[in-house]
Amino acid sequence: MSKLQIVPMSEAHLSALAELEVLCFADPWSEAALREELSNPCAHFLVALYDGNVAGYLGCHHIGDEGFVTNIAVFPTYRRAGIGRALVQAALNEPLSRLALEVRASNEPAIALYRSLGFVEDGRRPRFYAHPTEDALLYSYYRS
């Protein structure tokens, strides 16, 4: 059995994911907000388990045959181990014509990951992020 598993988000993961949100984001999602996604029919949230421990997650909303990544985060102790790549690849396995996301313009490791998986830059949202204020780059993966 592989040390890394990608599973659907469940109630059991919420506490760890809320902790991860606080570690990674200036405006983190609360445990209650994550819980709401469990009953959202458009939500497809995936959790990466490494040796049974929550290592990271990816949140996505599907509308028709398109998806939009709302969140992706990996605990610092699991970074640079392929967790983020595995989560994005799992999202790309969904039968979507397009998967889109936003990323801070300064987040070079994430941008390199998205490009290596075939995402293309297709826009910019000036001053989209706060704490600190920064542009968002828009990336999309188009299934041919």
pLDDT for 2 beyond 80: no
pLDDT of residue 1: 47
Phi then psi dihedrals of residue 91, to 5 deg: -65, -35
What does the pLDDT look like over 92-117, one tens digit per residue?
999 999 999 999 999 999 999 999 99
CATH number for the domain harbouring residue 131: 3.40.630.30
Give the mean pLDDT of the chain: 96
> Is-catalytic flag, 57?
no
Could you please report the per-residue DSSP string of 77-102?
A: GGTTTTHHHHHHHHHHTS--SEEEEE
pLDDT mean over 9-13:
98
Q: Report cis status (omega within 30 of 0) of the bond before 41.
A: no
Q: Can you tell me the distance from the alpha carbon of 144 to that of 97, in angstroms, rounded to the nearest whole number?
A: 7
> Is-catalytic flag, 11?
no
What does the pLDDT look like over 55-86, one tens digit per residue?
999 999 999 999 999 999 999 999 999 999 99
Task: Count Cβ atoms below 10 Å from residue 98 Cβ, excluding itself.
Answer: 14
- What is the domain range of residue 132? 4-142
Of these residues, 50, 114, 129, 141, which one is catalytic?
A: 114
Q: How confident is the model at residue 144 (pLDDT cuts 50, 70, 90)?
A: confident
Edge-to-edge order in the sheet of strand 120-129? 4-8, 43-50, 53-63, 66-74, 98-104, 134-142, 120-129
Entry pTM: 0.94
For the chain, what is the domain count?
1
Of these residues, 21, 50, 102, 141, which one is catalytic?
A: 102
Q: Taking the C-alpha atoms of 17, 22, 23 and 25 in order, what is their torsion angle to the nearest 10 degrees?
A: 110
